[in-house]
Amino acid sequence: MATPIKNRESKITTASEKNDFGPVVFSGDGEPHTPESTIKRLNKLLAENKLQPDKYSLGGTVEELETRMAAELGKEAAIWMPTGTMANILGLRKHCGVNARIVLQEQSHIYQDEGDALSRLCGLNAMPLAPNRPYFTVDELHELLQLSVTGRVLNPVGAVSIESPVRRQAGQIMPWDEMKTVTDLCHEEDIPVHLDGARLYMMSAATGISIMQYTELFDSVYVSSYKYFGAPFGGILAGTKEVIEGMFNDRRMFCGGIPFGYISAALSLDGLDGFEEKFAKSLNKAESLFKEISKLPKLSVKKFEHGSNIFELILDEPAKTDQLVANLKDQNIVVTWPNPEWHAPLLHVNPSILRKSNEEIVQAFARGYSN
């Protein structure tokens, strides 16, 4: 058996070894991992013979993850990608063919945070809808589609992309009925539709709608590995065999055929096991916790109308926000502030919420605001 990697740092105390499980981190989608905890997980996987090398992202544990995720997402095939940006743009590039226009949300990651990769690397043109809103309606999409094929110069749409939940809109989601109507229209018009489902598992837990119910609406789906499965990087692009066929060459051409992808893939598989149950437990705990925090004087927690795992913390005296955040940090509770994309602190629910009792967390907020 291979020798585990030796960690030069002090031994990590895990949740099962000590009642103090580490900080509650109201930031990010998954349980926070340190270099030490990542090495500990890799040692465990190595001892269990679950680290099988790949050859430039082919075979080994990478292939195992691809097979598992294709089944999880109800798709014919899947391919591992080193980044979510690559998964999104290569999926859309494959869909579009000669029709270079892509409809998406103005607040989407593809439009705002991927360096104009669609246009600069793929020659595709983004057509944003729903400015400063989490989703567009079927009427907005229908109007744009009609304009694209009725003008003097025809510019047919090659694909539609939907991000849900939308990070820049505090994790708000496209409601199921609207998503179903939009994707039905796309299929009627024979336009491929892609789901940027980086946080798909968050959406499913929040709505109670299964992963496969969501994914069957789409021709391709991207899911992140590092946002909540505890991998350091990577994600999965899944779809029909026609969509995934040839993606190895596309990935290589876009500089994504890296060696040692199996490290990320193995950690993804490890994080995937039991994740849905753990995250549902985290959301249930958060629901009762935030009701108790809202009973405190001058503090409340707002649930968004179409929210997922992100909630808004409201202070009657906003000037005390910095003080509250600093005091919470002293009590091993982390809230990210300031937030350049939102006017108030946001509480991201992830499994770290299970590290302390609700009573402990409520008391910390009470002390933090009153001090």
pTM, two decimals, is: 0.92
Number of folded domains that form the chain: 2
Note whether 219 and 358 are same-domain residues: no
Final residue in a domain of this structure, among 237, 272, 307: 272
Q: What is the pLDDT of residues 88-114, one digit of tens each?
A: 999 999 999 999 999 999 999 999 999
Q: Are residues 280 and 242 in the same domain?
A: no
Does one domain contain both 237 and 289?
no
Domain of 147 in residue numbering reads as: 50-272
194 CB-near residues (< 8 Å, 6+ apart): 88, 91, 92, 95, 159, 160, 161, 162, 218, 219, 220, 221, 222
CA atoms in the 13 A half-sphere facing the CB of 231: 30
Please report the pLDDT score of residue 151 as a whole number: 82
pLDDT value of position 32:
87
**In a domain? residue 42:** no
Please report, in angstroms and rounded to a whole number, the separation of the first and last CA atoms in the chain. 54
Q: Which of 272, 294, 319 represents a domain boundary (last residue)?
A: 272
By the 10 Å C-beta count (0-12 exposed, 13-18 middle, 19+ buried), 34 is classed as exposed
| Cβ partners under 8 Å of residue 349, min gap 6 | 26, 282, 283, 286, 309, 310, 311
* Same domain? 210 vs 301: no
Question: Could you read off the pLDDT tens digit of each residue along the chain, which spans 371 residues?
Answer: 444 434 433 333 333 333 446 899 999 888 888 899 999 999 999 999 999 999 999 999 999 999 999 999 999 999 999 999 999 999 999 999 999 999 999 999 999 999 999 999 999 999 999 999 999 999 999 999 999 999 889 999 999 999 999 999 999 999 999 999 999 999 999 999 999 999 999 999 999 999 999 999 999 999 999 998 999 999 999 999 999 999 999 999 999 999 999 999 999 999 999 999 999 999 999 999 999 999 999 999 999 999 999 999 999 999 999 999 999 999 999 999 999 889 999 999 999 999 999 999 999 999 999 87
For residues 179 and 308, membership in a common domain is answered with no
Is residue 14 in some structural domain? Answer: no
Structural domain includes residue 352:
yes
pLDDT value of residue 21: 63
CATH of the domain at 342: 3.90.1150.10
Residue 248 lies in a domain: yes
pLDDT at 28: 86
The Cα 235–Cα 278 span in angstroms is 20
Is 255 found in the same domain as 113?
A: yes
Together in a domain, 127 and 248: yes
Which of 238, 272, 306 is the last residue in one of the domains?
Answer: 272
Q: Is 18 domain-assigned?
A: no
Which residues on neighbouring strands pair with residue 193, listed in sequence order? 160
Which H or E run contains 110?
Answer: helix 109-112
Q: What is the CATH number of the domain that holds 117?
A: 3.40.640.10
Q: Report yes or no on 10 lying in a domain.
A: no
Separation of alpha carbons 228 and 283, rounded Å: 14
Residue 201 CA to residue 306 CA, distance in Å, equals: 15
User: What DSSP line would sit under 16-60, residue for residue?
Assistant: TT-S----EEESSSS----HHHHHHHHHHHHHTT-----BTTBSH
Residues 240, 286, single domain; the answer is no
Indicate if 235 and 365 belong to the same structural domain.
no
Q: What is each CA distance from 76 to 68, 96, 109, in whole angstroms?
A: 11, 20, 26
Q: Is residue 17 part of a domain?
A: no
Residues 251-308 pLDDT 10s:
999 999 999 999 999 999 999 999 999 999 999 999 999 999 999 999 999 999 999 9
Domain match, 267 and 222 both: yes
The answer to whether residues 89 and 225 belong to one domain is: yes
Instruction: Tell whether 126 and 230 lie within a shared domain.
Output: yes
